[in-house]
Structure 1
Amino acid sequence: MGTYGSRSMYLGGHAILKACERIKEKALLAASHLLEARVEDIEFKEGKFFVKGVPTKTLTLKEIAQELSFMKKLPSNVEPGLEATAFYEPTSTTFPFGTHIALVEVDRETGMVSIKKYVAVDDCGKIINPLMVEGQIHGGVAQGLAQALYEELIYDNNGQVLNSTLMDYFVPTALEVPNMILDNTVTPSPTPLGVKGIGEAGTIVSTPTIANAVADALSLLGKKVNTLPLKPETVWKALR
C-alpha cells in the first residue's frame, strides 16, 4: 500500500524493529553455544555479546554473523544465516501536530509578497533521525509556499493547459524559500517506537500560514483576498 499518510517510520520503522528483535534472538542463541552459557545468561550491549559477569570475553555481531554463515562451531539445530523478515500491521493511527508562523511583507505598489521570517514547531513523537525530520519540514514548507504564492494551472477556453512546462509553471527556487527557524516538542505515540509521521506536516500547514499572514497584512488596509495563489497581480488587484 505504500507509505502514504506520513507512515514511513510508523510502518517501516516498526517492521525493522521486529526484524531486528528476531535477529537479536537468533544471535543470542548462537552466542550461548559459542560462549557455552545459557541464553538467559547472555547479554548484548554496545554491539557485543558476553556472559553476565564476564564482560571481558565477548563476541561481536559481525563474529556471530560469520559463525552463522560457516556453521563450523554451531550445532545442526541452529539455522544458518543471520537474517529475518517481519511484517507490521498498525492497530491505531498517530497524529502529529505543530504550529507554524510566518512574517510577510506586501509591496503596496507591486503586490509582491516577501517572506521575512518563518518559524515552525512540530511534534512527530520520538525523533529517530533529526536531520531527516528537518529536511522533511524544509521540503514540506517549500511545497506549501509554492501553493500559496506560485503554482497555478492556466487553461484556455478549450480546456488546453497553457503552462504545462517549468518554463511557465512557476515553482519556488532556493532563492524564494526562506530560512526557517525550526524546533520541536516530543509527545511519544502509543507505539513501540513512539514515532509519528512528519512528511506532510510542513506541506499541510505552510499554505494557510502564508495565506493568512498575507490576509492579515491586507486587513490593516481594510482589504481582503481569498484566492490562491497570491500572485503579485492578485494581491495588487485586492489592494485597489
Structure 2
Amino acid sequence: MVRVAPTGKVEVYTGSHSHGQGHETAFSQVVADLLGLPLEDVEIVHGDTARIPFGMGTYGSRSAPVGLSAIVRATEKVLDKAKRIAAHLLEVAPEDLEFKEGRFQVKGVPGKGMGFSQVALQAYLAHNLPEGMEPGLEATAFFDPENFVFPFGTHVAVVEVIPETGEVKLLRYVAVDDCGPQINPLIVKGQVEGGVVQGIGQALFEEAVYDENGQLLSASYMEYAMPKAAQIPPIEHGHTVTPSPVNPLGVKGVGEAGTIAATPAVANAVMDALRPFGIRHLDIPLTPEKIWRALRDKAPVAAN
C-alpha cells in the first residue's frame, strides 16, 4: 500500500520484509523517482503485522520482481488519482496533463500546473474534488507475475593449491551477472559479494562435523570455520542487462547469484588443479587436511 500524507510525504507498506537486502533504499528510490520526490520523503514500512495486512515475506529472490512490482502498481494508482484531481482543479482534461519532476503540467502551457504536494493537500481538504471521488490519496495493489524471472550469469575462480599443506589460495574471482536493470548498483554489488563469500565458505571451509555418538563437534565459531577477509581477493564485477518481460520494471532477483555460482566455481577450480595428480573427485568442503590426504604419495601423472 502507498499512502500519501497531506504534506506530500509518502509511506509505503510492504509485505516484502527486509533482512539486510537494502529494500528500504531500493524501494524508496523507485517510489521517489515515480513521484518526483526527494528520497527522504519516502518511508518504507515493513515487518509489522499490526500495520501490514498481508505479505509473504522475502524468499527466492522475489522481493524486487514481485514485492516492488506491487509497490509500482500502487504508486501508479496514486498518480492516476492525483492526476484526475489536478485536472479538475486546473479545469483541463486529465489527458491534457503531463507529470514531470513532481509536477502536473498542462501540455503546451508552461506556467499552468500544480506540484504533487499541492494536489495531495487538496485530496485531503476535499473542498473541490471530481464528482464521486472520495477524499484521501492512497492505493493498494497486489502483483501476481505471469511467469518466473530468470537471472543468469557466469562466475570464474582462479585458485592455487599448495601440495605440501593442502591449502587453497583464491587468486582471482570474476562475477558477471544479469539481474535486469539495476535499481541500486551498490546494493547489487554487495549482494553478489556477500553471496560469493558464502559460497566460498561452503566450498572450502564450512562443515557440520559429528562424532560417532552424533555429538556436533563444530557447534561454535571456535570450531566452525568460515572465510576471513584476508582469504578473499577483490571480487571483479561485470554485468549484462536483459530486462524481464514479466514485471513492470524488468528486474530480476540477484540475492542468490553469488551463493549459487561460487561453490561450484571454486570447487571445480580446485579439482582442476588436482587433476594432474589423478584426483577426480573430493567432497566439499575442500579443507587443507582433505586435500593433503588425497595428495599423499601422489605424483603428477602424464596427461592423456
TM, length-normalised to structure 1: 0.94
CA deviation string 1:68-109 (max 9, x = no partner): 222244356332222111000111111111110011111111
Shift of 1:228: 0.7
1:215 aligns with 2:271: yes
1:70 aligns with 2:125: yes
Aligned to 2:112: 57
1:130 aligns with 2:185: yes
For structure 2, list consecutive stretches of 5 or more residues without a partner in the other structure. Answer: 1-55, 297-304
1:196 aligns with 2:252: yes
Q: 2:86 aligns with which of 19, 25, 31?
A: 31
Q: Percent sequence identity over matched residues?
A: 55
57 and 173 in structure 1: CA distance in 2 versus 1, 3 angstrom threshold: farther
Shift of 1:33: 1.7
1:158 aligns with 2:213: yes
* Partner amino acid, structure 1, of 2:185: P
Distance 2:226 2:112 in 1: 60
Shift of 1:230: 0.8
* Partner amino acid, structure 1, of 2:193: H
Distance 1:200 1:11 in 2: 16
Distance 2:226 2:91 in 1: 64
Moved more, 207-216 or 73-82: 73-82
CA deviation string 1:86-138 (max 9, x = no partner): 00011111111111001111111111111111001111122222122111111
Which structure 2 residues correspond to residues 80-119 of structure 1 after superposition, within 5 A? 80-119=135-174
Distance 2:204 2:140 in 1: 46
3-state DSSP of counterpart to 1:55: coil
1:141·1:202 contact (CA, 8 Å) conserved in 2? yes
Q: How many residues align?
A: 240
* Partner amino acid, structure 2, of 1:219: R
Distance 1:26 1:177 in 2: 51
2:85·2:130 contact (CA, 8 Å) conserved in 1? no
1:180 aligns with 2:235: yes
CA deviation string 1:158-177 (max 9, x = no partner): 21111111221111232233
174 and 80 in structure 1: CA distance in 2 versus 1, 3 angstrom threshold: farther
Distance 1:203 1:103 in 2: 17
3-state DSSP of counterpart to 1:235: helix
Moved more, 218-227 or 146-155: 218-227
Distance 2:154 2:92 in 1: 53
TM, length-normalised to structure 2: 0.75
Identify which of structures 1 and 2 has the higher relative contact order when contacts are C-alpha pairs closer than 8 Å and 6+ apart. Answer: 1
